[in-house]
Amino acid sequence: MAAQSSFPPGGTWFDSLKKSFVNVPVDSANGDAISTSDFLDAAESLTSLFDLLGSVAFKPVKNDMLGNVKKVRDRQLASPGDSSNLQSLVLNELKTKQHTATEGLLWLTRGLDFTAQALRHNTSNTSDELSTSFRAAYTQTLKPHHSFLVKPVFSAAMSATPYKKDFYAKLGAESDQAKVKEELGRWLACLEKQVGVLNQFLARKECKW
């Protein structure tokens, strides 16, 4: 069966994104402050990737990520003056003795790290199928933090990944795979950078509750 695409001829999945991590501002002059609105839009856009994986088993993964986006966005809407960047949002929320958005961002970052590591593993290990890459990423990122009730749900998703060739065909036409590879590399590098910034920030003492 031909892969269903949501992008125009000559385009790729990346053209369908409302916001790409490539376009999320990171202010190096201000402690690598990450724009809240842009980052949340990019994270929300990323979740359509789980639709391309084509199994209902990934629905809990997608819903978990979207739920965490909502927690952070709710805080942003409640206190916009303190939430222009993610770091400011977290520090100001914790001052109020609340941590709903901070915990949401922590889990969102873990989910994004999982996705980034899976795709990096798969692009770096060209003979590996997606299931191998996603299992390796899950072990390194989310699994240590999941309860015994949640682990089987995510493990089922790892086993439900499509064949590699079918997945990449959904990112772009066969004739556009060089473009897919280039755009994936650029998008993935930006995602990895932002996840790295957040992992380092959220590990700081003042970000604990």
Residue 77 has pLDDT above 90, yes or no: yes
Mean pLDDT of 101-106: 98
Residue 177 C-alpha from the chain's centroid: 22
With 50 as the cut, is the pLDDT of residue 12 above it?
A: yes
**pLDDT (0 to 100) of residue 3:** 43
Distance CA 117, CA 112 (A): 8
- Counting residues of the chain whose pLDDT is more than 70, the rounded percentage is 97
Tokens standing for residue 166: 């079918």
- Predicted pLDDT at 182: 96
Question: In angstroms, rounded to a whole number, what is the distance separating the alpha carbons of residues 43 and 28?
Answer: 20
Residues of the chain with pLDDT > 90, as a percent, come to: 79
- Range 34-42 average pLDDT: 98
Angle at alpha carbon of residue 144, lines to 139 and 145, rounded to 5°: 130
> What does the DSSP assignment read for the chain?
-PPP--S-TT-BGGGG-SS-GGG--EEGGGTTEEBHHHHHHHHHHHTHHHHHTT-GGGHHHHHHHHHHHHHHHHHHHH-GGG-SBHHHHHHHHHHTT--HHHHHHHHHHHHHHHHHHHHHHHHHSTTS-HHHHHHHHHHHTTGGGS-TTTHHHHHHHHHTPPPHHHHHHHHB-GGGHHHHHHHHHHHHHHHHHHHHHHHHHHTSGGG--
More confident residue, 10 or 197: 197
Q: Residue 157: what pLDDT?
A: 83
Average pLDDT for 39-63: 91
Q: How far is CA 59 from CA 4, 114, 153, in A?
A: 18, 15, 10
Q: In the block, which residue shows the tokens 């060739």?
A: 165
Q: Where residue 6 falls among pLDDT bands split at 50, 70, 90?
A: low
Q: Looking at the whole model, is its pTM more than 0.85?
A: yes
pLDDT over threshold 90, residue 35:
yes
Q: Summarize the confidence of residues 150-171 as an average pLDDT.
A: 88
Q: How many CA atoms lie within 13 A of 198 on its CB side?
A: 27
Rounded mean pLDDT of 81-105?
Answer: 98
> How much is the mean pLDDT over the chain?
93
Over range 97-114, report the average pLDDT.
Answer: 97
